[in-house]
Structure 1
Amino acid sequence: MSLNELLLLPENFLWAWRKVKRSYATTDMLFNRAELASFELSLEAELQSIRSDFSRGSYTLERLRLLPQPKKPDSEGRHRMRQSFEVSVRDQVAWTALINVLGPELDQLMPAWSYGSRLYRAAWYEDIKDGEQSRLNVGPYRHSSGYLYRHFKHSWPVFRRHISLTARRMVGGDIEEEGLDKGERFALDQRVGLEYLKKDFWRKSTSHSMLYSASMDLRKFYPSIHPRSILATLIRYVDGLSESPEIINLIERMIAFRIDSSNLSDAMRIASEPACLGPDLTGIPTGLFVGGFLANIAMIPVDHEVSLQLEEKRNVAHFRFVDDHEVLAYDFDSLCDWIREYEAILRRIDIGAEIEDDKFAPPELKWVVGKHSDAELPDSLDALREKAKKASAIDGRKPTRLMTRTLAQVSLLAATDFDLLTDAGQSQRMEQLEWLLLANIPDHEIRGETRAAFAAARISNLTPSLFKPNGRLLIAVRERERLKGKKSRDGLEQAQLDTLHNEVEGLSLEDERRWESLVDRNFGLLFEAFTTYPEKVRLFIRLIDYCRSTGCGGFTRIEGWLAEAESRELRDYLGAVAIHVISKHIITASAQCHPNEALHRENAASRKFLEHVTQINLELYIASSGPKITVQGFQLSALRSLLASALLAAADLSTVDPEISERLNALATKSNFGNRASLEMLARSTGTAIGVWHHWSLSVSRKSEYSVPTLWASIVGLHDVSNAHDWTNLRRYPAVIPESMWTYMRTHPDLLAEDDAGWLLDAAKGNPSAFATMEGGSGAADQVRRALSNSSDQITLIDWIAFINQLDPSDPRRSEWTALEIVRQILEPLLDIESVDLDVLDKLHPANILIPEAWKAVPHNEAHETLTWLRWRSIAAEHRVRVDASGLDDYRYEEVLWMENERAWPRRVRAIGQLAWGILRRSFQLPFSWNIRGQERSLVELVAWEVDRLPISSFSLSILRSCLLSRNRETSFMLMFPSIFGKRLGPVADDTGLDNPIASPQQLLGLIEDAQSLLTNLQMTILEHEPRQLIPVNLAQVGYFGASESNSDDLED
């Protein structure tokens, strides 16, 4: 398959979207929430639009919106702003789709000593055999998980630990695994391709253990790289690209970056470093999620030249993490010579990158390697050389300066399950986090601001779990409730009850004071860390996250800092960030204010957070009044999301908490520049359809997937059915769509696609009289009429589920075995030589599956007897399930085609799995989000979560996973398209042990029969012939989907 055909795989664009969505969820950059929600709401159309533009070779980037970000202060402490851009969601997805196809094999060409911004690969430990040490396996490049880059623990810590391990190897020391900590052993396991750690690599010229170490950076790395160098590298190194003019043309269009700075103040525009001097960008835009990998691509020719030189010299080690470089050498002259040589390589290959003069460590190297004029020397050259030589010297056997003890502690804290620790253990871990947050530790292991951001995130997340209710209070409450529950009380008991009332009140106040003291103390720690690194946006975000999770009233201190901030540009940016984050938290807090939606402490923290937020001085965050004040584009975007969240939350809480609702409405008015705000005016005030804002609120709160929220009644009438986004959002709840939708469908008969029939059936059942008025109309409507006109003696699978839900839980007809039998009887006839075509599998909607009447009506002579396993298996074998081949089409039960007229098995296996899932859970109600086209493929994690919690055998669970989950479909692509998984250039570890795809209907049928056989062997009959089923469980699968990477997001830099 050609590169162009790989690029146009529909699955590729879905993978790209998942990566982009996850990147937005973890970024600390400002972005337009409405734009992201609009894209997701129209996901199917948006992805198809990008694919069509790619196919025609007509893709055109939108302009980059200049939005400088805070960066480290200069040497004199002045705050600075880094050149950065807000990239459109569409362009982020398009670029990611391109890298999905071209990236994996390019990543494999990158040297093992290059660590940052490397593409994600599956990695796991596998036990070899009892008593032996586990082995690290590195699998293929995976896409469906949504990770763009490798996790932090596979990059920066490995980078630092490889430097330390290399120093030991250079001086001839053996690396004894027994003496290494866990992180060092992990780094040693990841040495594949790193020649430095081989014993015979080095040509040691001295007998002592002294080495020399230096580090350096590249100047303004992303902005300096010529985009044309990326294209040249791609043509040179990507197999087949030179014969793909359509992709070369596409890349040329996609590296034509143009800038829009019209929505910024002059001061913010001028503050950008480097400055944007024209309409065209001549580098890689900071803010493009794949920008780090594009920089790595540009560096490939440089890296290859470096590798050749290192192989020849064998007396220098060179390491790179994006633009950070570390060099080890046997002597100081070799160190300096190599830096000069590296600078010459950069000039010769000319990708635009050059060494930053003021970023050497030790700093005296700047003068020693010739980066000076004689007039600039602060001392004699010999004196500077001696200082540099002394500062760069390390003991290779015990390279203290290169040690990674802080990283080891960070890794330990990231991997710790806090809930499993004792109180003493939790206190110890919190003390360690406080030390990491505020200690003055050298930055060579991990940057101070990054370390502080990690510690702040953990403290923010863990503080709520530190609350321990007073044992005396619990006892007093229980005793009080016992006495209150008595129908009559004597005088003594009444006096005791009065005493308990007072005791509970006193102990509650004591608990609350203790809790508030802890919350305020920890906020103080976070605030101190923020004021130390105010340019670290993630630290600032953690302050607000902490206020949200604990109910802390820290906004007064935040506002005090904003009022006194020296840099107007820093204040403007952080103020907008605060409002941007607060708008999301308002939605989650309002959701937890509902009864039974959260624990008592979480509910209280949510309400307090809303109380504090509604009292903020909005003018300090985003100045909107006064002379010469102009609200900038990024500030306006944040205000609009605040307006939407406040109005939606106010409506949501109008009956639950009228006081908070009223306060939120007042906050909405403030965010609307003092003008009256209402839901009726939201679309006009923000320029965004109310359907988009509602979709955003649901994606943030993650609620109401199977029940219509109370908020819906307040906003359903505000949707404009002629607006594409509003129309799409109205599809969410088909059983209760408004009359305006029915009217619009009647007047626009071609509005629904053929495969919308399943959705329309749900709507018709919710409102039969409205559907009856649809005359003629679309093919979807005709399909629904046929389905509703079926004779009453036909039992559809939907009817069957309603029937068995009324049966006794022990009835065999409700069993896992029966669910598998239904699927088996659907499949079995299709494999006969004279059977109907496999195309019937395209009609696997529950309304198209017909169950025999005999399954429902037990024969009269046994009507009063218990239905045994033996009798039930006999009935099921005698009376067969059949498929109505003329039934409904439903996109929610179909897989996307990866090529025109595809009839292959992989696109049909999902529908079979979805049927089995519905039977096993005894419900065919699908997540409401799937009623929006595109979401049925994007939000598959909803299925993963539910499937993993079904009370079924591990065998059946494996079958469901293989049929339903995107990872399994991705695995089925590996043999067909090995290049996009990095499997063409050599073997990689197999990571499909628990999720092998099902390759054919024959294989699926065999697996179902095996699962049924296993279940049959574990069926039993107890007293009075009652049937029972034992459920076999494979412990290797327990918690399989719950396993996740350690919480290291805040270590990303």
Structure 2
Amino acid sequence: MTWFNLLLMPENLLWAWRKARRCYRMADGLFDQAEIAAFELNLEAELTAIRHDFETGNWRNRPIRLVPQPKKPDKEGKPRLRQYFEISVRDQVAWIALVNVLGPELDQRMPAWSYGNRLYRAAWYEEETAEGQNSKLNIGPYRHSAGYLYRHFKHSWPLFRRHISLTARKMVGKSIEEDDLDAGERLALEQGDELAYFHPTFWNRPASGDNTLYAASLDLSKFYPSVQVSAIQRGFDTLVEGFSDEPRLSALLSAMLRFEVDDGGLDQALKAKVDPIAPVGSFDGIPTGLFVGGFLANVAMLPIDREVEKLLLQHRNIAHFRFVDDHEFLAYDFDRLLEWMTEYAHLLARHGIGVEIEREKYSPAELKWLLHPDETVEPKKLSELRSVAIAAASVDGRKPTQLMTRTLAQVSMLAATDFDLLTDAGRSQRLEQLEWLLLANIPDNEIRGDTRMAFAAARIANLTPALFRPNEELLLEHRRLKALTRGKAPADLEPAMVKPFLDRIAELEKTEQENWAALVKRHFGLLFEAFATHPDKVRLFTRLLDYCRVTGHNGFDRMRRWMDDHTDDDHKFLQSYLGAMALHVLARHVLTASVALSQPDLLHRERGAARAFLENLVRADLEAFVPRASEAVRLQQFQWNARRAFEAALMLGATEIAMTDATLSNEMLVRAIGPEKAAAPGFVVLFEMTGVPLGVWFHWLFTTTGAHPMQPPVYWATAAKSYEPSRPEDWNGLRRYPRLLPPAAWKRLAEDPFLLKSDDEGWLLDAARTQPDRFAGLPNIAPVIADVRARVGNSRATLSLVEWTEKTAVMDSSDPRRSEWTALEIVRQILEPIFEPEGPDIDYLDRLHPEDVGIPFEWLPADWRALPEATDAGDKITWEAWQSLTRRSRVAHSPGMRDYRYHEVLVSVDDRAWPRRLRALGQILWGILRQSFVLPAAWNIRGQERSLIEIVAHDIERLTISSFTISILRACLLPRSRETSMLTQFPMLFGNAKGQSADDTEFDQLIDSPDALLAQIKQAQDVLQKSQMTVLEHKPRQLIPVRLRQMGAFIDGMPSEEELGL
């Protein structure tokens, strides 16, 4: 299969969207949240359009919108702004799709000493049990379904720093004493198999045997904007095998590399502060903000890296490391170090990719004058500068204290700590370490100060809520009061009896609240101090907002005062950006807090923190963050977008809590739309205020919070009436709950009966059964309407699977009819006919649907058959009698229903028909086990049935079923299983064309054929039967067998009974 054909695969585009979605969730910058929600709401059409533009060669990037971002202050401490662009969601997804296909081929060619922006691939340690052996690092294939674009942080920056330190030790000694290393360094040493510096015979050590080394570093100036797109094109042309043989792919890449800057919506003063300036029009560089930008920079640098690799192997007296634009060097000789850095500068110039060395960022700084004689202003004589530089660059190779990674070790340890498992003393100790990391004056050579502080701030923000411990004396007083009242209300007892208890409880509650408030306030002060030290570090600022959300602390006044203090000084542009960022983040927090108020499974303190956050927010003065737009106040485009999302969130949140807290709901409405409109609010005002369809905003609410995944919210019928079905976004939004389609939606269907596709039959059936009168008004011209009408009017000789689960859901939990064994038996009987000599062709599985699976009436208890509406527990039946009955009266399947929610829509299915059928069988099994075929509401929107399959993963883990059936469900339904099935079919997609990646599928249960599925079902049933029993009064019981490996990799895909422990 060609590269271009791989690019067009539907799975590839879906993986690209998943990666883009995760990138947005992790992003620190501003972006249009409504645009992302709109893209996801229209996902099927959006991915189809990208594929069409790829295939037809009509690709054209949308303009990249300039949104300046804060950067580190200059030498005088004055704030600066850097280029940053908001890339359309469509273009982000398209670029990731291209990198998914071509990236593994290029990433594998990159040297081991290049660490930044390397593509994600599976990596794990395999513990060795043999005495004296260490754990082994395995590097698996490039994976896509997990949604990660780049490797985890721990496999990039910490590894980069640790490999530098370890290389220094290796340069002066043949071996490294592992007892002198911390845990992180030992693991880093294990990860150095591909790094030539660790090979015993690599180094040409000087005869002197001196332990002194020389270390230096440099940065590239304005790296991303300086990389010429022609260099990226050359990288793909010359380094991807077969790329030049695919002119369509080359032409597509050229089109995708044509960027056009749009700086509309920004005032001139702000644009003039951006460094470098980004003029309107053609942009020859990598736009910062493009998710794949880091990888494209690596592609441009790859020809240089490969030439450097050859020189390193030739000379063997220099170590070269690169992390994006940061370069580190180690050498035995100082003059050789200077020669290498000069040679590297010449390499950059000769390859002509557009980048230059930043002369102000050499370390030691004196290298600026030693390497660039044209620098006229010298602080000292060259001989003095050389002496200072030699002293600063000198490193003891055996104990390279300047290169040590102790801070990184502490960061790694704290990152890996599960605070929920610590004692109170352990938590306090870890908190002290975090405070030290946050505020200590630590050199930046291991990890940048602002990055270290951002990490500590995030951990403190997450840890603080877990520090709360209820007052034991308070609990005791409550118990004593309860014992005294003995079920009576305190008001019904003598006041003299209960008053001492109530007074003591009130006193203890006040003390508890004061102590908690003091702790929360202190931690906020620590976080704020870190932000005030590095206000350009946006993540430190957003951690303040996150902290207010999870603790309920009112920190808005302190943040507002900072905003007020910097309205008109040098920080005014930084202030405008942070203000917009505040509303951007607060918008999401408003949604999650509003939904939290009605979640019954939250802790009391979590719910209290959510309420306090909302109360503090609606009473805070946020005009200093982003003022309301008016004739006198002109907002930047990014400010307007943030304010729009914030006000929309307030309206949506007010709707969520209207039934539980009408007062707070009204305050939120007043804050969003003003007192006059809040007096008679309507959902239409949300569209009028923002210009964004209601369907987009509500989809944003549901996807951000995960609220109402199955059933509609109480306000849905009212909200749906304000939708405009003629808008595509609103129509898709109304599809979410087909049983509650408003009259306007039915009217549109009547006017445009071909609006629905042929495989919308299942969706329309759901709507028709709940609103038969509305459905009766639809014309019969569209086949999908005629087919549903025929189904609604037909009577059946058997129970449909949907009706069966409705019956079994009310049976006793131990009744064999609703058992796991029975669920497997039904799927088994659906599958077995294709193996019979006169049985149907396997194609009959292509239209598998629970409405078309017939369950014999004989399977119901006798009294239920006589009284179809009966809901009593029915008769008792033993396991033996039940299994005999199911084999006598068998399940029937009549193909016919077309429902995209069960039948994945692929452009080309010839070579991947079985995975599509496997998913339908898995969904049937899943529905029976959960006793319901009500699908996730989001799946009613076309495209979401593929994008949000993760909903199933969460549900599977909650089912009380054996690990054997869980493994079957995972193989049928989860994205990773689908991806694993493609590893051998399309190895180029995973960077494994030569089969050199480690096997990461040991615990994946791959079901690659109907035979394999049938065998797995039989095996699971056999295991269950061995755990079935009959107890008192002949009641059947099922024990739930669990195997810890959960059906991992076995010989021939099947375990033996010995392996199962049976």
TM-score calculated relative to the size of structure 2: 0.95
SS of the aligned residue for 1:1028 comes to strand
Q: CA shift at 1:488, angstroms?
A: 9.0
Identify the match of residue 925 of structure 1 among 927, 934, 941.
Answer: 934
Q: Deviations over 1:610-650 (max 9, x none)?
A: 12211232321124468864211101101110111111112
| Alignment check: 8 A CA contact 1:706 1:925 kept | yes
Distance 1:138 1:483 in 2: 65
Q: Which residue of 2 aligns with 1:1011?
A: 1020
Distance 1:910 1:636 in 2: 44
SS of the aligned residue for 1:983 comes to coil
Q: Which residue of 1 aligns with 2:283?
A: 281
Identify the match of residue 364 of structure 1 among 366, 376, 387.
Answer: 366
Identify the match of residue 916 of structure 2 among 899, 907, 912.
Answer: 907
Distance 1:595 1:176 in 2: 54
Q: Which residue of 2 aligns with 1:968?
A: 977
Identify the match of residue 338 of structure 1 among 311, 329, 340.
Answer: 340
Q: Say whether 1:245 aligns with 2:254.
A: no
Q: CA shift at 1:569, angstroms?
A: 1.0
Q: 1:479 to 1:773 in 2, by over 3 A?
A: farther
Q: Which residue of 1 aligns with 2:853?
A: 849
Q: Which residue of 2 aligns with 1:648?
A: 652
Q: Which residue of 1 aligns with 2:735?
A: 731
Q: Which residue of 2 aligns with 1:745?
A: 749
Q: CA shift at 1:1010, angstroms?
A: 1.1
Q: Which residue of 1 aligns with 2:869?
A: none
Q: CA shift at 1:262, angstroms?
A: 1.4
| Alignment check: 8 A CA contact 2:10 2:906 kept | yes
Distance 1:881 1:56 in 2: 47
Q: Which residue of 2 aligns with 1:1044?
A: none
Amino acid at match of 2:888: E
Q: Say whether 1:66 aligns with 2:66.
A: yes
Q: Deviations over 1:940-997 (max 9, x none)?
A: 1110111122111111111110000011111111111111101014411111122232
Q: Which residue of 2 aligns with 1:571?
A: 575
| Alignment check: 8 A CA contact 2:457 2:543 kept | yes
Amino acid at match of 2:169: R
Distance 2:656 2:672 in 1: 14
| Alignment check: 8 A CA contact 1:318 1:327 kept | yes
Q: CA shift at 1:674, angstroms?
A: 12
Q: Which residue of 1 aligns with 2:496?
A: 495
Q: Which residue of 1 aligns with 2:377?
A: 376
Identify the match of residue 290 of structure 1 among 289, 292, 303.
Answer: 292
Q: Say whether 1:883 aligns with 2:893.
A: yes
Q: CA shift at 1:866, angstroms?
A: 3.4
Q: Deviations over 1:176-230 (max 9, x none)?
A: 3344222112211211321001110000013111100011100000001001110
Q: Which residue of 1 aligns with 2:880?
A: 870
Distance 2:736 2:73 in 1: 49
| Alignment check: 8 A CA contact 1:953 1:1032 kept | yes
Distance 2:675 2:304 in 1: 51
- After TM superposition, the structure 1 = structure 2 runs for residues 485-634 of structure 1, keeping only pairs within 5 Å, are 485-487=486-488, 494-565=495-566, 566=569, 567-594=571-598, 596=600, 598-624=602-628, 629-634=633-638
Distance 1:861 1:392 in 2: 89
Identify the match of residue 270 of structure 1 among 272, 275, 289.
Answer: 272
Q: Say whether 1:85 aligns with 2:94.
A: no
- After TM superposition, the structure 1 = structure 2 runs for residues 143-158 of structure 1, keeping only pairs within 5 Å, are 143-158=144-159
Q: 1:977 to 1:492 in 2, by over 3 A?
A: closer
Q: 1:523 to 1:489 in 2, by over 3 A?
A: closer
Identify the match of residue 642 of structure 2 among 638, 646, 669.
Answer: 638
Q: Which residue of 2 aligns with 1:462?
A: 463
SS of the aligned residue for 2:576 comes to helix
| Alignment check: 8 A CA contact 2:168 2:397 kept | yes
- What is the aligned residue count? 1038
SS of the aligned residue for 2:140 comes to strand
Amino acid at match of 1:93: V
Q: CA shift at 1:1023, angstroms?
A: 2.2
| Alignment check: 8 A CA contact 1:746 1:777 kept | no
Distance 1:578 1:673 in 2: 25
Q: Which residue of 2 aligns with 1:49?
A: 49
Distance 2:675 2:293 in 1: 34
Amino acid at match of 1:877: R
Q: CA shift at 1:868, angstroms?
A: 1.2
Q: Which residue of 1 aligns with 2:839?
A: 835
SS of the aligned residue for 2:527 comes to helix
Q: 1:267 to 1:671 in 2, by over 3 A?
A: farther
SS of the aligned residue for 2:619 comes to coil
Q: 1:683 to 1:472 in 2, by over 3 A?
A: same
Q: CA shift at 1:1038, angstroms?
A: 11
| Alignment check: 8 A CA contact 1:587 1:700 kept | yes
Q: Which residue of 2 aligns with 1:1048?
A: none
Amino acid at match of 1:70: P
Distance 1:573 1:25 in 2: 19
| Alignment check: 8 A CA contact 1:319 1:325 kept | yes
Q: Deviations over 1:821-849 (max 9, x none)?
A: 11111111112343212111112110010
Q: Say whether 1:916 aligns with 2:925.
A: yes
Q: CA shift at 1:491, angstroms?
A: 11
Distance 1:7 1:552 in 2: 49
Distance 2:865 2:37 in 1: 60
Distance 2:93 2:489 in 1: 69
- After TM superposition, the structure 1 = structure 2 runs for residues 277-426 of structure 1, keeping only pairs within 5 Å, are 277-370=279-372, 372-373=374-375, 375-426=376-427
| Alignment check: 8 A CA contact 1:736 1:763 kept | yes
- After TM superposition, the structure 1 = structure 2 runs for residues 774-785 of structure 1, keeping only pairs within 5 Å, are 774-785=778-789
Between the aligned residues of both structures, percent identity stands at 51
Q: CA shift at 1:477, angstroms?
A: 1.9
Distance 2:194 2:489 in 1: 81
Q: CA shift at 1:937, angstroms?
A: 0.6
Amino acid at match of 2:592: T
Measured on the aligned residues, the alpha-carbon RMSD in Å equals 2.3
- 45-54 or 978-987, larger mean C-alpha shift: 978-987
Q: Deviations over 1:438-466 (max 9, x none)?
A: 11111111110001001101111111111
SS of the aligned residue for 1:755 comes to coil
Q: Say whether 1:797 aligns with 2:801.
A: yes
Q: CA shift at 1:776, angstroms?
A: 0.7
| Alignment check: 8 A CA contact 1:812 1:818 kept | yes
Q: Which residue of 2 aligns with 1:1050?
A: none
- 661-670 or 263-272, larger mean C-alpha shift: 661-670
| Alignment check: 8 A CA contact 1:647 1:678 kept | no
Q: Which residue of 1 aligns with 2:967?
A: 958
Distance 2:284 2:168 in 1: 39
Amino acid at match of 2:67: L
Q: Deviations over 1:65-120 (max 9, x none)?
A: 01110000001111000111011111100111010001011000000000000000
| Alignment check: 8 A CA contact 1:787 1:888 kept | no
SS of the aligned residue for 2:76 comes to coil
Q: Say whether 1:127 aligns with 2:131.
A: no
Identify the match of residue 1038 of structure 2 among 1014, 1029, 1039.
Answer: 1029
Q: CA shift at 1:483, angstroms?
A: 3.5
Q: 1:491 to 1:548 in 2, by over 3 A?
A: closer
Distance 1:822 1:492 in 2: 60
| Alignment check: 8 A CA contact 1:579 1:639 kept | yes
| Alignment check: 8 A CA contact 1:366 1:372 kept | no
Q: Which residue of 1 aligns with 2:870?
A: none
Q: Which residue of 2 aligns with 1:666?
A: 670
Distance 2:50 2:37 in 1: 17
Q: Which residue of 2 aligns with 1:192?
A: 193
Distance 1:158 1:107 in 2: 17
Q: CA shift at 1:667, angstroms?
A: 1.3
- 395-404 or 559-568, larger mean C-alpha shift: 559-568
Q: Which residue of 2 aligns with 1:37?
A: 37
Q: Say whether 1:230 aligns with 2:239.
A: no
| Alignment check: 8 A CA contact 1:893 1:911 kept | yes
- 970-979 or 149-158, larger mean C-alpha shift: 970-979
Q: 1:482 to 1:934 in 2, by over 3 A?
A: farther
